[in-house]
Structure 1
Amino acid sequence: MSSAQLALSYGQAFVAPDRRRHRSSMSVRFPEPALLHAKGASALISDSTSRNAMAKQAGDLSVRGFLTDYYSTPDHWDVKTSATRVLRSLNSWCYSQSQLVTEGSYVSSLSAMVFRGRDAHLFHMGDTVVFRLRGAEFEQLTHDHVTDLGGYRYPSRALGMDNSIDIEYLRLPIKQGDLFLFTTQAVLGTLMPSEYVQLIRQDASDLNAACDRLAQEAVSRAQARGYGAEQFCFQLVRIDQLPDEQSDSPGRPYGDLPIPPELSTGDRLDGMEVRAVLSRTAQSRVYRVIDVTTGREMVMKAPSPELSNRNAYLEHFLLQQWVVERVKSPFVVRVIEPSRPRRYLYYLMAYVEGETLAEWARRHPQASLTQRLDIANQLGKAIQALHHRDVLHQQIHPGNVMIDTHGQVVLTDFSACQQLDAISSKDNHELVRQVGLTEHSAPEYALDDTVGRRSDQYSFASTVYWLLAGELPYALPPHRLHGHTDLEQLVYRSARTRNPEVTPALDEALRRALDPQRALRFRRMSEFLHALRQPLSTERSGRTSPRRLREPANFWQGVAGILLLLLVLSWLLK
């Protein structure tokens, strides 16, 4: 006998003369059984202000962005972790994009409810509204986060409004027959709670008809009271069936797939043959493999077989894949979906034909400053792509930077990557130590201080300094610090004394990015990258301008020489 599964019904109604200009968006997703068990079903509503020129784009993007990213999070993450991380990442993206437009913004209110097992998880930002109807009890579950300015009410704590976001979270048990109503702030003041209940209960079997009744009555009430009623929307979700108690039991924190056994050259796993063992560490194994069917070369990364009972690292291992999948950049290695179902725990990345930055530097000791700075700027773009997704790499050093056969930089190895919302925990310092501090690690890692984007900036700057000068910026590597008093021993060694091509401005930029005090480094990575590009533009302009000045001079010098020769010949022939 099969166990009962979660089942939902829903209905919707819009009130808008032109749907293309509607500022609200709503959606319900009920995924296939496997994803339903891991992630649950979702219902969302978003709304932007009427004074926002990009209201519809903001509302649509917030709903689509949540649904896309939430169902892409690792299966072992719980609902709160998955939704919170997705919303914070989405908020950062909306906020950054709003800074690039001149009219309007990507700010919107959003209420998202996830139904998993026998619980509902509500995530609320701004002034959208969610009610629950249970029997005759009609209760508002959300709080109205609004601010009064000049007689107008604006949403506060909304998605994309600030670089950080305060998410209202509520977890509540659900019962069969529960009804949840999603609507917008514009509806408040039109209907009384008893009228909501009456209109919904008239024919609760048809939720679309119930939403239509709510919309018609709300419009009628609004018009009678003399204010606009052109932007109403309603969404009803009913719990038709709850899953069995035992069917909601979570699996192992790292999923049901076993860790692959130790592999050697020639071994096969899931239709892939190992061509070379690239790395064996205490935490992971990295292999170069080829798909025996398609012939495609890839890199397989799997946890070390010795980690079978160390679930903390295994959770982070799955985070690595999720992080790399979300970062889209030609300078960051790509994750590849396997061509057949996986029977073991691993993930696949594109194989980069080339060499590490350390190997490249050994083979090109005479490389020019322009070549080295070009590599540095490509690496900087890779780090920026991670930071735009609120991800720290935390292991930037020459061994983790690949240069392919076309000279393009690709950042690899995400063993210590972490999202910004998790870096304050002690687990992050433990993770970095477990993976291993390097001579390019920022001092704050050795001192257990707070880390952030500027910590990656330090490692990046240390790598660039090494690339330009051939050694480290400090006699005492920061990863060997034992206490804050040791910071006094970190005296910057000018890169110009090691490489005369380094300009004073470039040396000063490196010194600032490598400051032992995190707060004294560049505020943004873009400022440091701008400083790295300056020598390139100066050198290019310096190469072209003198040539243009010399060419006319050489021409006339040649003409004068010929005329002088002709004059001498004329004297000799007289």
Structure 2
Amino acid sequence: MSLTVSVGHASAAGLRERNEDFVGMVTPNEPELSSKGLIAAIADGVSGNAGGRDASEYTVRGLLADYYATPETWPVTQSMDKVLKAINSWVQRQGSVRPELSGMATTLTSVVLRGRFYYFAHVGDTRLYLYRGGALSKLTTDHVWDRPEMQHVLTRAIGLDSLLAIDHGMGELQERDIFLLLTDGVWATLGEIDVVRCLADVALGNCNCDDGSRRLVDAALGAGSSDNVSALMLRIDALPEENLRDALSVSQQLPLPPRLKPGQSLDGYQVEELIHSSQATLLYRVFDPRSQRQLVLKTLQPDRSGDPQERSAFAHEEWLAKRAVARFFPQVITPDRRNYLYYLTTWHEGQNLQQRLDAGRHFTIPEIITDGVRLVRAVGALHRRSILHRDVKPANVHMGTDGELRLLDLGVAQSGLEEKSELQAPQAGTPSFLAPELFENGSPSRQTDLYATGVTLYNMLTRRFPYGEIEPFQRPRFGEPVPPSRFRPDLPLWLENVLLKAVARDPADRFETAEEFQLALERGASNPMPARGAMPLAKRDPVALWRAVAVISVVLNLLLLYIVVVR
């Protein structure tokens, strides 16, 4: 599904002889809609100047045309910034070469809707509002003097200064969002209640965007506005599927938050505790006063601000986490407005399996079977969404006090939908849980995830690893896995066979799917899996086989030589 937007506008000169406002929008078809998005803009020429109308019209027309000529590789904000600064230079030059246009200038507010995100650029005192869930938010700041007698004197505008400072902002879209762009002839006259009432009718479908825009303009004139009056309205009717490219673009534009302490706030979320700090990321437990619930806020370390690869990897993790919608994973929460690079997930009381192991917890056979089934189901839920976890281990398996098992941390996961250049190295993960083929530059697969799942269950049972603990940068040699019954004599034979199949050295000897692994655990002793036969030497250790063949060959040759000499 593509981005679907309803649009409408209205503009009138009011009591003025000339309408110096100008509004415009471009609603392209595919592929431009996906690659560049929809753009809308509103401008108000500086009053009392003959060039006000020329400045506003040229600025809007120039932005709408030149934005689509910028490279697709540029972020949206970079494209708008480059175009507007070039337009600013042109407007300034017109005033110097044509005396009648001296001092020509205009305000401008523009918004781009692309994928599931919005981006805006703003200078002056035109405004951008967002109506969402019955609440109206002003997204822009008026660039006027703060003294009472100069509240209508602009401090920034297109053409006002050779150095143009543009406000940029962005956020995520939601269906039924309504964006409203207004000139000061409307917003300075109407109260917020009148605006909200009109937008509520548009949201409910009682009138369309054109009718809503006309209604606001007429209301402003009826309320005594003596200025030009213009309104431009956009309603989000449908959103496309989450786009990785947009997520990566967003990650390069948002600033990283500073390191936070308990009691501080970020975008309205109150920090309660630092949960975890790694070399790259920070996890906080935060409280959301609006929903009255605790959440987890994850972000990058502040010193990673200048690392585009870390930023892209973080955005990719969030993108995958949004696709993992199931009971087996924390769910991503979308904030109404995000000013920093982070993402939010649900918070769940409990501990991960590694914490339980470190506390000396002894897992019984029934617990291993029950938890194993739930863990395999979680891994299978990822695989059905074409996601490979790549770091299944006890530290990433959370046991909630609500009785749910949840698989955590998609930091090194991949989905198969990325470009080749975006894939991580094959050995991403924790060495002792990596399948043997990954040490030979093999590709991650469902079998490598199922192998790590088997090692996790083996470790829960025995606190050991089937091939011994593997240190980072070690190049291990894999022989036969140690039977877990050596450390747990109470282990039934059928369960041992299941675990040995899960951690088999050869991927062909493992379970093909999570569903097969789950079935083997569920049917248990009632329909046990047969023990795997001894692996032939040629498959287990081909080097040793050829060494033995060479030794036998030498011995036979010496024997033949002895017989010939004796005769």
When normalised by structure 2's length, the TM-score is 0.49
Which has the higher Rg, Structure 1 or Structure 2?
A: 2
TM-score, with structure 1 as normaliser: 0.48
